[in-house]
Chains A and B, each alone.
Chain A
């Protein structure tokens, strides 16, 4: 087959996000990396929820369903129950995935349904014009929280790990190198993959990720690379180290014993390290870990069952249906 290009994944529908929205960067990154998968557009499906992120499916020249608020994981699970020859992607937001649809997200992850979930986290409700979201930081003043948000934010990575997710990662919308890398890794993962994308909302929460995209970005991005010591900063001058009490702390590399610097291990069965890493930093301030927190081998939900069901159905005909209908105690009236 002919080589696919970015244009093969661009739909004819007019893109209608606000100027400067982080969603444009993510769309470009997805359309840009998809040709690498070698999967023709007709075998790719985007199922989306409600919110600004929900429009994503209209802009991909793949199959797409813009579903209802929070329910995309359920619908994608149904699609995965019926088909094993598709690459199924979910696009969701912090309100969609972590508030109204949190239950479905948790169960898609713990089942390890073969779907890739992109969770655009802008820490605000954008489409409904600026209410606090479950990931908004404590104290945030919004239209719905004029005295400041009283509740603690929900962390998507910790939730996913708690649900037993087999692939959990985080990237930044405008990180042209890091985002495609994480998307690629998610695409290769056979089970459920959760990718949190830190995304700027220029209208209702502008600059909320300035610390990881602006001038200070190198000081605030903690790259997680499997098998490598976790050091960061322009000169590698900071690191994640294990303190005497077992907790993880951000420290100066120079004054830390090399043996205390944490070496990232995304593949260990125990999610403890990944969970500890998820506790580092504050999305509103940084520094924050980026990359793949966890990626382990585990059977995907219903592996082999679609093929089994298809084979069974192709095998059964009227004779088998007659046998089923007449099963058990029957009698004949002449």
Chain B
């Protein structure tokens, strides 16, 4: 009970970052805070950031794990540039993150972790809490370890270690109080999660409540900040999803709406492995997952499943794409459905496996020997991963072709509220399997329908036995052919089929007489939207468009590009799609490039757009 009502402030938007050692449970605290924020009805976007090392040395900068959430009473586009509040569980977390903080921003530290030893490990020669290192910020020192110990004292059987491990829940409780978020959802979650270990459950519950009550009663903390629910949100049922979850749901939805069993084959690779974990739990929906012996086999297993009449999908990240290229080329030649998900990460080679980049684009478009075109679809936001996956599967099935779906590390891990579609509103996908031919009619495995697609005749179909393979085939009849004119014809037919994939026109947000068009693709959608909004708020007239289909490109794209005096394309690579657009449309598309393993920030795009307008 509060004796004196604390003052409250109201804010339109807030960015909070939880940071700690990778064993401190920061992702869990961030995830629970996200759920509480979604429950309130704020718009939100999140971004976890964790080290590649599973257990980097405790207390070091390399071992710092963080989770950032941006929430607002209006619609937001990115996880936020600079945190307003940093929760630092140890000196390393402080040191690794304080440079990103908003000037004048708030810091909450677990002061018990600021021991001489931990300070040394983080590279601090003196305690930043004691000197003027943090003078630009509002620092609140909370003895979280001690308070957790005290909260656990009343619980029978609780060890000091149990109390230590509950510090993240203390921090969560405190931050929940600060931004007026409910903790009952987390209490329910803890009750369920630790039903079998009552002591752990009770220690965690006590720490959560202790943190919340500390905010309520301690004069160090305040004022309480309120962020009203977002308005102008389209009606519907919402849930919070990250890109991995949405992508997996999209594949399952395509399986159900096509009536094809999903066979998902993958080899463990960061950041794509989570898709395998997610889908491995969907056997009840007819999903078969196979952990293959290598990336090549994963592609082969998916293709073999498609040959048998399933929806074959494989997923990987950059290095795995290198290895799958030969199988993708075979799928181009066989003209069978195959979905290849590339969750891009920073490269080349092993690069920075947990960091994001968009640098596999040219490989997706062109990275195969011979003339081997295929459709490429890109996901724009975590929620859009659902639509992109469904679309990739639809194209693969409809046109009998491998499709590459580009996601990336940022999309895979970032989350946002997602308006859940109704199953009945999703299009049906008709696989149109070939049936047995009349006994007197030869079956033509390379005949073509109105979309240029060949028949999908499943093994087991009487009278339709045929032999496919990587060797060039005679148009129509499908026998081996070395005929020069036939190879030219088949090359053209395969290309025409892909070029003819029905792709919606690109939609422009903005005026026809804008000074500049900002065009993007993939996971930069949110940052570009936020950057453009800031520029517009400065009174400049800027148009914006985003590409979801990278091959084929929308039919109206050339006209759109030529409509504006200047075109700027921000990409997390050195200008790969800009190069394609210049080549395809002879338009002077300018690149704004970033290859730091991190997503764009709204502020940097704001600056880049202003510079491009006035250039």
> Residues on A close to B: CB < 8 A?
11, 13, 40-43, 45, 47-48, 50, 54, 57-58, 60-68, 71, 73-83, 85-86, 103-104, 106-107, 302, 305-306, 308-314, 316-322, 324-334
Shortest Cβ distance from residue B521 to the other chain A in the assembled complex, whole angstroms: 26
Q: Are A313 and B285 interface neighbours, CB within 8 A?
A: yes
Looking at the complex, which one of A47, A78, A80, A312 makes contact with B286 (CB distance below 8 Å)?
A312
Q: Decide: A305 and B239 in contact? CB cutoff 8 A.
A: no
**Contact: A313 with B256, CB < 8 Å?**
yes
For B235, list chain A residues within 8 Å (CB). 332-334
- The answer to whether B285 and A324 touch across the interface, beta carbons within 8 angstroms, is yes
A13 touches B479 (CB 8 A): yes
B444, chain A: closest CB distance, angstroms: 13
Pairs across A and B, CB under 8 Å, 8 listed? A13-B479, A64-B466, A74-B300, A85-B460, A312-B284, A321-B252, A321-B257, A334-B235
B256 in contact with A83 (CB, 8 Å): no
B293/A78 in contact, CB under 8 A? no
Q: Is the CB of A320 within 8 A of B308?
A: no
Asked if B261 and A82 sit within 8 Å, CB to CB, the answer is yes
Chain B residue with minimal CB distance to A71? B300
Chain A contacts for B259, CB-based, 8 A:
313
Verify A86–B285 contact, CB threshold 8 A. no
B302 touches A78 (CB 8 A): yes
Interface residue tally for chain B (C-beta within 8 Å): 73
Q: A42-B463, A316-B286 are in contact. Are A107 and B293 (CB under 8 A)?
A: yes
List the A residue with the shortest CB-CB distance to B436: A42
* Docked complex: B288-332 residues within 8 A CB-CB of A: 288, 290, 292-294, 296-297, 299-310, 312, 326-327, 330
Q: With a CB–CB cut-off of 8 A, which chain A residues contact B263?
A: 78, 81-82
4 smallest A-B Cβ distances: which pairs? A78-B304, A66-B469, A313-B286, A74-B300
A79–B286 touching, CB < 8 Å: no
Complex contact B236–A332 (CB within 8 A):
yes
Residues of B within 8 A of A43 (CB): 459-460
In the complex, the answer to whether B237 meets A330 with C-beta atoms within 8 Å is yes
Residues from chain A with a CB closer than 8 A to the CB of B28 are none
A321 in contact with B459 given A312-B285, A316-B285, A334-B235 (CB within 8 Å): no
Determine whether the beta carbon of A322 is less than 8 Å from that of B422: yes
* In the complex, chain B residues whose CB is within 8 Å of the CB of A54: 469
Query: B69 contacts the other chain (Cβ, under 8 Å)?
Result: no
Which residues of B551-588 have CB atoms within 8 Å of chain A's CB atoms? none
Say how far A185's CB is from chain B's closest CB, in angstroms.
24
Interface residues of B in 242-298 (CB under 8 A from A): 249, 252-253, 255-257, 259-261, 263, 265, 283-288, 290, 292-294, 296-297
Q: In the complex, what residues of B have CB within 8 A of residue A40's CB?
A: 462
Closest chain-B Cβ to A68's Cβ sits at a distance in Å of 5
Least CB distance, B282 to chain A, in whole angstroms: 8
Most buried by B among A57, A68, A86, A302: A68
Q: Find A11's partner among B261, B424, B467 (CB 8 Å cutoff).
A: B467
Query: Residue on A with the closest CB to B255?
Result: A313
Residues on B with beta carbons closer than 8 Å to the beta carbon of A309 = 261, 283, 286-288
Selected interface stretch from B34-42, B215-223, B349-357: B34-42
Is B238 engaged at the interface, CB distance under 8 Å to the other chain? Answer: yes
Count of A-B contacts judged by CB separation below 8 Å: 223
**Of B41, B283, B303, which one neighbours A308 at CB under 8 angstroms?**
B283
Identify which of A73, A82, A327 contacts B308 (C-beta below 8 A). Answer: A82
Name the one of A42, A71, A78 contacting B465, with C-beta atoms under 8 angstroms. A42
Q: Does B334 contact A (CB under 8 A)?
A: yes
Residues of chain B lying within 8 A (CB to CB) of residue A45? 459
Extra contacts, 9 of them, besides A82-B310, A333-B236 (Cβ < 8 A), are A63-B459, A65-B334, A74-B299, A78-B290, A82-B308, A103-B293, A321-B256, A322-B422, A332-B235
| Residues of A contacting B330 in the complex (Cβ-Cβ under 8 angstroms) | 67-68
Q: Which residues of A contact B249 (CB under 8 A)?
A: 324-325
With contacts A58-B480, A316-B256, A321-B252 taken as known, whether A326 is within 8 angstroms of B294 at the C-beta atoms is: no
**Interchain CB contact under 8 A, B285 and A329:** no
Query: Nearest Cβ distance between residue B32 and chain A, in whole angstroms?
Result: 10
State A45–B39 Cα separation when bound (angstroms).
54
**Smallest Cβ-Cβ distance to A65: which chain B residue:** B468
CA distance A42 to B435 in the complex (A): 12
The answer to whether the Cβ of B502 comes within 8 Å of any Cβ in the partner chain is no
| Cβ contact of B327, chosen from A11, A68, A86, cutoff 8 A | A68
| Cα(A319)–Cα(B259), bound, Å | 14
Q: A42-B459, A67-B470, A104-B297 are in contact. Are A79 and B305 (CB under 8 A)?
A: yes
B471 at the interface (CB under 8 A from A): yes
- B residues in contact with A47, CB < 8 Å: 304
Rounded to whole angstroms, the CA-CA distance of A326 and B424 in the bound complex is 14
**Is B54 in contact with chain A by the CB < 8 A criterion?**
no
With both chains docked as a complex, state the minimum distance between the C-beta of B15 and any C-beta of chain A, in angstroms: 22
Contact of A67 among B285, B286, B469 (CB under 8 A): B469
Q: Which of A61, A82, A302 has the most CB of B within 10 A?
A: A82
Instruction: Say yes or no: A104 contacts B293, CB within 8 Å.
Output: yes
Are A74 and B471 in contact (CB-based, < 8 A)?
no
Q: Is B485 an interface residue (CB 8 A)?
A: no
Inter-chain contacts of B303 with A (CB < 8 A):
75, 78
A82 and B285 contact, CB distance less than 8 A: no
Task: Determine the chain A residues whose CB is within 8 A of the CB of B236 once the complex forms.
Answer: 332-333
| A41, B303: Cα distance in complex, Å | 22
Q: Are B286 and A310 in contact (CB under 8 A)?
A: yes
B422: chain A residues within 8 A (beta carbon) = 322
B301 and A77 contacting across the interface, CB-CB below 8 Å = yes
Chain A residue nearest to B463 (CB atoms) is A42
**Cross-chain contact B304 with A326 (CB below 8 angstroms):** no
- B459: chain A residues at CB < 8 Å are 42-43, 45, 63, 79, 83, 86
The answer to whether B447 has its CB under 8 Å from any CB of chain A is no
Nearest residue in B to A318 (C-beta to C-beta)?
B423
Whether B348 is near chain A, meaning CB under 8 Å from some CB there, is: no
